[in-house]
Amino acid sequence: MRAVPGSRTARWLPLAPATTLLLLFLAGPIAYCVYLAFTDMQLTGQASASFVGFANFRRAFGDPDFRNAVGMTLVFTVVSSLVGQNSLGFALAALMRRASKAVRTAVGTVVVAAWVLPEIVAAFLLYTFFNRRGTLDAILDWLHLPTQNWLFTLPILAVSFANVWRGTAFSMLVYAAALDGIPQDVTEAAEVDGARGLRRFWHVTLPMIRRSVGTNLMLNTLQTLSVFGLIWAMTRGGPGNRSETLPVFMYDQAFLKALIGYGTAVALLLLLVGAGFSLVYLRLMREEM
Amino acid sequence: MPSLSARRTRQRLAADAALLVVAAAFAVPLVWLLSASVDGAAGLRVRLPASPTGDNFAAVLTDEITFTPMLNSLLLCGGATLLTVVCAALAAYPLSRYRSRLTRPYLMGVLFATCLPMTAIMVPVYGLFVRINLIDTVYGTALFLAAAQLPFAIWLMKNFMDGVPTVLEEAAWTDGAGRLQALVRVILPLMGPGLTVVTIYSFIMMWGNFFVPFMLLLSPGKLPASVSIFTFFGTYGQVAYGQLAAFSILYSTPVVLLYALIARRLGGGFALGGAVKG
């Protein structure tokens, strides 16, 4: 028998401070976000906001800049999260199992260092790397390959690569843990059956780590969807709007163009996409809880 | 057919070579950071400094550029981390120990909030902060940072607390200790490593956070290092790149050291990856 001290309600009292904070500063703003998205609130004249129904959303879908931002967000997410971080992270984790210890340590340190550095420092570093007078063009020049102003010609790819540089460590660590979790006898049985290379990856490894793949994809995508500082510091969404993802577009509309209501409607759409991914992630987790 | 060990060696060499190429690519920006910081005439590309100098560091080690923003960061992130850890530890206790119909939905809600893109709610948060006069206040910003970090902290903390056997606190109750006493005296010391991980991880996340203080703090005197670095150097024109690199190193060092601390504590492994997966 457990002699639990305190009454039933008192037991749950420790939840109060956290719950209060979450309600005031997370649930509150989300509710306010839903409200604002249906008004014509502007930075100037806060008091005169009125209800405008779905006007902000209709405006968004008819706005070529908004559609551009959706496209940019898709490119940014697919290139940097799905393809870049995820595949490179897996490749690194898989290769590291075969590499010698010294190389493993060196690679692990460098990749994780890129991840640990603050976002804004990473942005500055990659800005100098991709700059017209930066290291990438210096290397290309040395190899007698054509150089260009990457931040001007391919800004969305430059910021995507920056995000790969910054975020690959997470996938690498998740996959390293997942590959460690594959029982030895499974690997050995596959070896005896002569399953190697791609076939082994597809039929043996992938099914064993598929939950990790799902989790990792979800978390990477959600993280990538909310990247702002990296892009803002590297290109400010430009030149023009050629690297303007949804968070940058939202900020631009709400603060630089003073359209809080419209910016919030965009934010709400972003939040809904994020919520959709979160629900998928929860389903993946549910099996374990 | 080559022997198994010959094949292993060949595989190892191939893996080593491939990894070194990737590592070199990842290292280039880091090499620029280090070389430019000690280069009196640093430009945008990697080069060996002609004569290494400490001038860049000397130039940025002023109240205005380094000390005030770093102190602001420490107050903002330290305060918010303390709040996060205390709230998370308290909340994790009933979630870990008692069964109720509400436990599962609560945890699901917490996990759901963990995943939401926080960037998206910054516009309404700004609007809200203007209305309730929390805009441009350090404590208001700290409260938001804490709330934003809380879902993940609760989740981690609950998982760590699940690992502490209940037998010991039951013994403490028999000796007449209350719930809070049992939590502080028995459970938290036993989950020391977990508590350290949650604390340091929360602090690292807040230290690097740019968008939240960028939106919620306005006075230059209150800005943390993550934003001041941007206002000082962000206007690309005649930027002193050596100084930018030197300040970046000063600003990054605390989180790199803290990360190294928890990484070693976890035996080089990575508990967060595991924790995230449940």
| Interface residue B143 vs chain A (CB under 8 A) | yes
- Name residues 7-36 of chain B within 8 A of A (Cβ): 11-12, 14-16, 18-20, 22-23, 26-30, 32-33, 36
* Lowest-pLDDT range of A188-192, A241-245, A283-287, B9-13: A283-287
CA B69 → CA B16, B60, B76, B257, B273, distances in Å? 42, 12, 10, 19, 31
CATH match of B65-276 with 3.40.640.10: no
Cβ of B233 within 8 Å of Cβ of A124? The answer is yes
Angle between helices A260-286 and A55-62 (to 10 degrees): 90
Per residue in A278-288, pLDDT (tens digit) is: 888 788 777 65
Is the Cβ–Cβ distance between B103 and B95 less than 8 Å? yes
Partner residue opposite A111 with nearest CB, options B26, B43, B183: B26
User: What does the block give as tokens for A205?
Assistant: 């490894």
The least confident of A40-54, A88-102, A126-140, A246-260 is A40-54
Q: Which of B40-49, B136-145, B240-249 has the lowest average pLDDT?
A: B40-49
Q: Band of the pLDDT at A43, cuts 50, 70, 90?
A: low
pLDDT tens-digit map of A143-169: 888 888 888 888 999 999 999 999 999
Is the pLDDT score of A5 beyond 60?
A: no
Domain boundaries, chain B: 1-53, 65-276
Find the CB nearest A173 among B23, B44, B273. B273
- Indicate yes or no: CB of A116 within 8 angstroms of CB of B256: yes
pLDDT band at B275 (very low <50, low <70, confident <90, very high): very low
Q: Is B209 on the interface with A (CB under 8 A)?
A: yes
pLDDT of residue B276: 46
Q: For residue A144, what is the DSSP state?
A: T
Cis, peptide link before residue A239, omega less than 30° from 0: yes
User: Which 3 state secondary structure label does DSSP give A51?
Assistant: strand
Binned at pLDDT 50, 70 and 90, residue B234 comes out as low
> What pLDDT was estimated at residue B113?
87
More confident residue, A40 or B90: B90
A28: chain B residues, CB-CB within 8 Å: 128
Q: What is the structure's pLDDT at B87?
A: 95
> What integer is the mean pLDDT of B222-231?
89
Q: What is the pLDDT of residues B126-168, one digit of tens each?
A: 888 988 889 999 999 999 999 999 999 998 888 888 888 888 8
> A153-163 burial, b if ≥16 CB within 10 A, otherwise e?
ebbbbbbbbbb
Residue B160 has what pLDDT?
Answer: 86
C-alpha to C-alpha distances, B47 to A98, A135, B38, B208, B249, nearest whole angstrom: 33, 9, 11, 27, 17
Tell me if A128 and B241 make a contact (CB, 8 A cut-off): yes
Cross-strand pairs, A51: A39
The encoded tokens of residue A82 equal 């799905």
Among A262-266, B23-27, B230-234, B256-260, where is mean pLDDT lowest? B230-234
| Angle formed at CA B58 by CA B56 and CA B64, multiple of 5 degrees | 100
Work out the widest C-alpha separation in chain B, in whole angstroms: 77
Residue A47 has pLDDT above 80, yes or no: no
pTM, two decimal places: 0.89
Task: Give the mean model confidence (pLDDT) for residues A205-221.
Answer: 84
Report CB contact under 8 Å: B273, A19. no
Question: Which positions in chain B touch A14 (Cβ < 8 Å)?
Answer: 90-91, 93-94, 179-180, 183
Q: Is the pLDDT of residue B243 over 70?
A: yes
A111 and B119 in contact by Cβ < 8 A?
no
Task: Point out which residues pair with A39 in neighbouring strands.
Answer: A51
Predicted local distance difference test score (pLDDT) of residue B274: 43
- Looking at beta carbons, which pairs linking B51-58 to residues 24 or more positions away fall under 8 Å? B55/B242, B56/B240, B56/B242, B56/B243, B56/B245, B56/B246, B57/B246, B57/B250
pLDDT band at A1; cut points 50, 70, 90: very low
Distance CA B230, CA B243 (A): 13
Q: With an 8 Å Cβ cutoff, are B93 and A14 in contact? A: yes
Question: Which residue did the predictor score with more confidence, A261 or B237?
Answer: A261
Contacts 24+ apart (CB under 8 A), A34-37: A34/A268, A36/A260, A36/A261, A36/A264, A36/A265, A36/B123, A36/B124, A36/B127, A37/A261, A37/A264, A37/A265, A37/A267, A37/A268
What's the pLDDT score for residue A45? 54
**Residue B42 — very low, low, confident or very high, per pLDDT cuts 50/70/90?**
confident
* Residue of A5, A26, A177 lying closest to B147 (CB–CB): A26
**What domains appear along chain A, each with residue ranges and CATH number?**
49-286 (1.10.3720.10)
pLDDT band of residue B237 (cuts 50, 70, 90) is: low
Interchain pair A29, B128: CB under 8 A: yes
Residue with tokens 């510091």: A233
How much of chain A, in percent, has pLDDT values that exceed 90?
Answer: 27
Residue B273 reports pLDDT greater than 60: no
pLDDT score of A6? 60
The band of B213, judged by pLDDT with boundaries at 50, 70 and 90, is very high
Establish how many alpha carbons lie within 13 A of residue A36's alpha carbon, considering only the half-sphere containing its beta carbon: 32
| B118 interaction partners in chain A (CB closer than 8 Å) | 226
What was the ipTM of the complex prediction?
Answer: 0.87
Collect all residues of chain B within an 8 Å Cβ-Cβ radius of residue A210: none
Read off the pLDDT of residues B159-205 as tens digits, 9 standing for 90 and up: 888 888 888 888 888 887 777 787 787 888 888 788 888 899 899 99
pLDDT at B278: 34
For residue A204, give the amino acid letter: V
Average pLDDT estimate for A170-177: 88
Element (H, E) at A53: none
Please give the average per-residue pLDDT across B48-77, as a whole number: 88
Among A38, A53, A25, which Cα is nearest to A264's? Answer: A38
pLDDT at B271: 45
Q: What is the pLDDT of residue A287?
A: 65
Mutate to test the interface with B, among A26, A92, A126, A230 (most CBs of B within 10 A): A26
Residues 100-139 of A with CB under 8 A from B: 100, 103-104, 106-107, 110-114, 116-122, 124-129, 131, 133-135, 137-139
Residue of B nearest to A264 (CA): B123
